[in-house]
Structure 1
Amino acid sequence: MNDQQKNNSDTKWMGAGLFAAFLASLCCVTPVAAFLAGISGVASTFSWIEPFRPFLIGITVLLVGFAWYQKLKPRWDPECACEENPSFWQTKGFLSIITVLTALLLAFPYYSEAFFPKQNQQVVYVQKSQVQTITLDIEGMTCTGCEATVKNAASSVDGVLEADASYDTRKATVKYDKSKTNRETITAAINKTGFTVNEK
């Protein structure tokens, strides 16, 4: 295999690693992208990928690791004493960029909440008898990006005082003013995101 073919092969490994990282993070990127695009109804579209995430992460690490191995191993061709200048796409610098991008994609669930707007904290006085707390079972949450989407949807309903969600328990807890809203309105707001509230 000549240097040109080897460089092309290295580029393919890099691309495959980046693609695997993108697939691994797709279930987490989609809720945030949907929110930012204003089409929150597709937030849970790729939640079915979540069970495969550990395998995709493993494949990503192997592919990027192999690309680094190919790039760093000594090359010696007794028939060619020439030095070839590879294009930028075939350099260690580009592989470093790919490695950082894959790391950012794989870590996306841990910083995805930063993309959602902070809820304005307002002091609201409500009679204790008017405050209702409900716990909702939510289908489709797989990461902190999903949590943030559900929490943001519930918090956007007028009359909601507090909202929290956990993908671990697949539940959302919402505290609201009964005189301003109700369970059905909150459920409808969450269902609009693409996640589903299980009614008992």
Structure 2
Amino acid sequence: MQESSNADTNWSLGTAIGAALGASACCTIPLALVSFGVGGAWIGSLTALAPYRWLFVGLALSALGYAGYNEWKMSRRTDCNCDTVVSSTTRRTLLGTGSLAVVLLIVSPWVFGGVSPAPSHQIPTTGAGSTAASESSTPASFRQVVLEVEGMTCKTCPVTVRRALSDVQGVYSAKATFEPPQAVVRFDPETTSVETLTQATKNAGFPSRPKSNS
């Protein structure tokens, strides 16, 4: 009976973590992959899970609740001398760690969606002195392009798009928004191109095309 309860806790906790990964697959996982330099159009397939996010969240919380309930039942049993696969201390540590991982994965889209990462090549534009410095440091061939971005499903997606664009050499600033789904990019055409920018968003899982240039 003790081994059966251990197994119940293990599979329910594993289910909770797996469902939490599914809940964050459309948002947090693409951002993590892009941050680590992993790209490819296949990442865009993860956004197909967006409509099922709340189903994954419900499954994760239900499985986590069952794991906690099962542990509570086991804690109320009279101690026995039977052999167990893992000790109660180890089991509860795993449950606590797994629970924390599930909660972090579930809330991560809201956390990252509210964070605006610092631009890697932003040109300062505050104050008259800064404006003059900006003009002197901006290439004569400076251009701006507005990209229409496809596949964004939540407020974390613009963060991923912005990260992918900021990593392109020659980009001075990039701003992506969820509504409207677009990215405004300032870049040096002598270093990069619009085609390179659209390829960067595509590799992050979000195809794009130029809307207008200025």
Common fold by TM > 0.5 = yes
Tell me the C-alpha RMSD between the 2 structures: 3.6
Output the amino acid matched with 2:185: V
**1:125 aligned to 135, 138, 143, which one?**
135
After superposition, residues 71-150 of structure 1 pair within 5 angstroms as 71-73=71-73, 82-84=80-82, 86=84, 87-88=86-87, 91-109=91-109, 110-111=111-112, 119-122=120-123, 124-125=134-135, 133-150=144-161
After superposition, residues 1-200 of structure 1 pair within 5 angstroms as 2-41=1-40, 42-73=42-73, 82-84=80-82, 86=84, 87-88=86-87, 91-109=91-109, 110-111=111-112, 119-122=120-123, 124-125=134-135, 133-176=144-187, 183-198=194-209
- Compared with structure 1, are the counterparts of its residues 75 and 161 closer, same or farther at alpha carbon in structure 2 (3 Å cutoff)? closer
- Compared with structure 1, are the counterparts of its residues 65 and 134 closer, same or farther at alpha carbon in structure 2 (3 Å cutoff)? same
Output the amino acid matched with 1:57: V
Residue 129 of structure 2 is matched in structure 1 by none
Are the counterparts in 2 of residues 139 and 196 from structure 1 also a CA contact under 8 Å?
A: yes
Further displaced range: 180-189 or 50-59:
180-189
With structure 1 as the length reference, what TM-score do the two structures score? Answer: 0.75
Output the amino acid matched with 1:32: L
Between the aligned partners of 1:43 and 1:76, the Cα distance in structure 2 is 46
- Compared with structure 1, are the counterparts of its residues 106 and 75 closer, same or farther at alpha carbon in structure 2 (3 Å cutoff)? closer
- Residue 135 of structure 2 aligns to a residue whose secondary structure is coil
Taking every aligned residue pair, what percent have the same amino acid on both sides? 27
- Compared with structure 1, are the counterparts of its residues 175 and 122 closer, same or farther at alpha carbon in structure 2 (3 Å cutoff)? closer
- Compared with structure 1, are the counterparts of its residues 182 and 51 closer, same or farther at alpha carbon in structure 2 (3 Å cutoff)? same
Are the counterparts in 1 of residues 122 and 172 from structure 2 also a CA contact under 8 Å?
A: no
Are the counterparts in 2 of residues 32 and 112 from structure 1 also a CA contact under 8 Å?
A: no
- Compared with structure 1, are the counterparts of its residues 72 and 155 closer, same or farther at alpha carbon in structure 2 (3 Å cutoff)? same
Further displaced range: 140-149 or 82-91:
82-91
Further displaced range: 81-90 or 151-160:
81-90
Cα distance per residue 1:138-172 (max 9 Å; x no partner): 11223455323321332344554321112353221
- Compared with structure 1, are the counterparts of its residues 143 and 88 closer, same or farther at alpha carbon in structure 2 (3 Å cutoff)? farther
Are the counterparts in 2 of residues 20 and 57 from structure 1 also a CA contact under 8 Å?
A: yes
Between the aligned partners of 1:198 and 1:122, the Cα distance in structure 2 is 24
- Compared with structure 1, are the counterparts of its residues 171 and 121 closer, same or farther at alpha carbon in structure 2 (3 Å cutoff)? closer
